[in-house]
Chain A
Amino acid sequence: MTAPDLPAAAPPAGGSVPAWIRKRGGAIVIAIALLLLWEVGVRLLGIKEYLLPPPSRIWLEFAKRSGTVMGGAWVTTQEILGGYVLAVLVSIPFALAVTYSRFMENAVYPVVVFLQIVPKIAIAPLFIIWFGFGYTPKLLIVFLLSFFPIVVSSIAGFKAVDPEIMDFARTTGAGGWKLFARIRLPQALPDIFTGMKVGAALSATAAIVAEFVASDRGLGYLLLQYNGNLDTPMVFAVIFLLSFIGLAVYYTVEFIERITIPWHVSQTNAGQAPL
């Protein structure tokens, strides 16, 4: 298709690699600059290592003990992924049920909303009592924390169909399944992904807190150990690693979003482009 009146049209959907660098390049430069400033600043001011080690020292310590730390990272990653995937698998059908069933909406959903008020972290010790020290309580806490944002925004998405679009659809006589597949689901996807990204961001936090409460492995466990020994470089190494895991989960979801709903992603990017 040619479009003679829009010669300078931006590349459709997605966005190429150079565009990505142009968009994130600034952030990368700033991150590197901050690390440099940190390194130089700590050395010039002679700040003690147990208070704030320079990045180079953190890296060296991490390299030395990477076996232990990466082992812990793998444990934590499993907790995050397990809990998060479970949350996605449960929350979206649940949101559907609330959208389509009066009973679920009137009776079950309010209870869920109320439960959401309960500080879920406070439940963590209970889970230890019930499920012990292993994988299960961590998985459940990750599940619990990421479940709610996904449910809430999925419900909002399923319910937010433009009434006029529904009016149009009703004049076609299409049945419930078709309306769902062709209209309700696609238009809810942006909201579902928003919830999934919030859930993803929470999942790493949830795993660490769960490990703080009681565990004998994982990054949260290691973090407490290193902290107890005033091994600050390793504390920082763990924090960095955790952040990377969180980012990886988040960007995986964003990547899936990009290929699932390019129409929405490209539209929001187009809005940002001129800035």
Chain B
Amino acid sequence: MPQGAAAGEAAAAGAASPAAPPAHIEIDDLCQTFRRAGMVTQALDGVDLLVAPSELVVVVGPSGCGKSTLLRIAAGLLPFTSGRVRIGGRDVTGPQTELGIVFQSPVLLDWRNVLENVLIQVELRGMDPRRYRERAERLLADVGLGDFQDRRPRELSGGMRQRVAIVRALIHDPPLLMMDEPFGALDALTREQMRIDLEKLWLAQRHTLIFVTHGIAEAVALADRVVVMTPRPGRIERIIPIDLPRPRDKAAVTSARFTEYVDEITECFMRYGVIRY
């Protein structure tokens, strides 16, 4: 659902227009500077972004440009230097709980098996894990972990762990999902399948989804809009609405339009010297 206001070929998205439909996430002139042991790192520099409810926004950018920082700030896990961040119309001042989050690394609990690692989400929320067991089993089966529910994280491959983390973020059916390179540890084949499954899931559930990735093709294949970030200090270089039919099947991801979008983003990165041929 591309929203009217912030988009276009013009450079960074314009300031939030007051006429825009109520956004799920509103980020306004967000700056983030890390100071540590005398070292000053400017991670984000004036980021403006509106994400509409049920929108699937993908953030791409070079390593170290502040993508994870942006997500962590939006989730209320990191205090920010200046700017304004709102979720559901409320200012983000502390950890947000109306969401499911997948971090760049799986961060599972070693002492719990796969099923228990998924159910920790509902346990910590004070909900009855028994009522979520069936759903957890189904979701695990969906991501190909049906036979691994009793295993401990150490017994899984990196990709399998990340899939557990994804299921953990989905189990309580949150209205907002944040995923920080969730497929980073997956092989190309599983990755493509996960991308397809995630789209299916999103089409069925229509949660708002912010997805961070390095993969340009992956971004185009998934997104309603692709947010292209510059190298550090991260700014939004442009926001590209992806006008491709869903579900993005084989025809869609091999179409000429698809390739044009990929080229457009690639050229952005070439201009910044992120990609050199």
A residues bordering B, Cβ < 8 Å? Answer: 1-4, 6, 162, 164-165, 167-174, 178-179, 182-183, 186-187, 189, 261, 263-264, 267, 270
Contact = CB atoms under 8 A, between A and B. Distances in A.
A179 B124 CA distance: 8
Given A164-B107, A168-B101, A174 B124 contact: yes
B49 to A, nearest CB: 20
Contact of B97 (A4, A171, A264): A171
A267 B154 contact: yes
Given A263-B152, A267-B154, 15 more contacts: A1-B149, A2-B147, A3-B151, A4-B147, A171-B99, A172-B97, A172-B124, A173-B125, A174-B124, A174-B125, A182-B124, A187-B110, A187-B111, A264-B111, A270-B154
B92 to A, nearest CB: 12
B266 interface: no
A263 B121 CA distance: 20
B84 interface: no
A189 B101 CA distance: 27
A2 B148 CA distance: 8
B202 interface: no
Contacts of B103: 164, 167-168
19 contacts: A1-B147, A1-B149, A165-B107, A167-B75, A167-B103, A171-B95, A172-B97, A172-B124, A173-B95, A173-B125, A178-B123, A178-B126, A183-B109, A187-B109, A187-B110, A189-B111, A263-B111, A263-B112, A267-B152
Given A165-B109, A167-B72, A172 B121 contact: yes
B148 A3 contact: yes
B105 interface: yes
Contacts of B124: 169, 172-174, 178-179, 182
Nearest to B104: A164
Interface in B45-78: 72, 75, 77
Given A182-B120, A263-B152, A162 B107 contact: yes
A164 B125 CA distance: 17
B150 A1 contact: yes
Looking at A1, A264, A270, the one whose CB has the most chain B CB atoms below 10 A away is A1
Nearest to B105: A164
Nearest to B102: A168
A1 B151 CA distance: 9
Nearest to A172: B124
Interface residues of B, number: 30
Contacts of A164: 103, 105, 107
Interface in B118-147: 120-121, 123-126, 147
B152 to A, nearest CB: 6
A151 to B, nearest CB: 23
Interface of B: 72, 75, 77, 95-97, 99-101, 103, 105, 107, 109-112, 120-121, 123-126, 147-152, 154-155
A98 to B, nearest CB: 23
B160 to A, nearest CB: 11
Nearest to B97: A173
B175 to A, nearest CB: 13
Contacts of A6: 155
A264 B123 CA distance: 22
Contacts of B151: 3
Contacts of A171: 75, 77, 95-97, 99-101
B100 to A, nearest CB: 8
A182 B110 CA distance: 12
A135 to B, nearest CB: 39
A4 B56 CA distance: 36
A226 B100 CA distance: 70
B186 to A, nearest CB: 17
A3 B99 CA distance: 33
Contact of A267 (B110, B148, B149): B110
Contacts of A183: 109
Given A174-B124, A263-B152, A168 B107 contact: yes
A173 B125 CA distance: 6
A80 to B, nearest CB: 30
Nearest to A5: B147
Given A164-B105, A172-B121, A174-B124, A186 B111 contact: yes
B115 to A, nearest CB: 10
Nearest to B75: A171
A178 B121 CA distance: 12
A165 B95 CA distance: 13
A264 B154 CA distance: 10
B113 to A, nearest CB: 9
Contacts of A2: 147
Looking at A170, A172, A261, A263, the one whose CB has the most chain B CB atoms below 10 A away is A172
A182 B123 CA distance: 9
B85 to A, nearest CB: 15
A167 B77 contact: yes
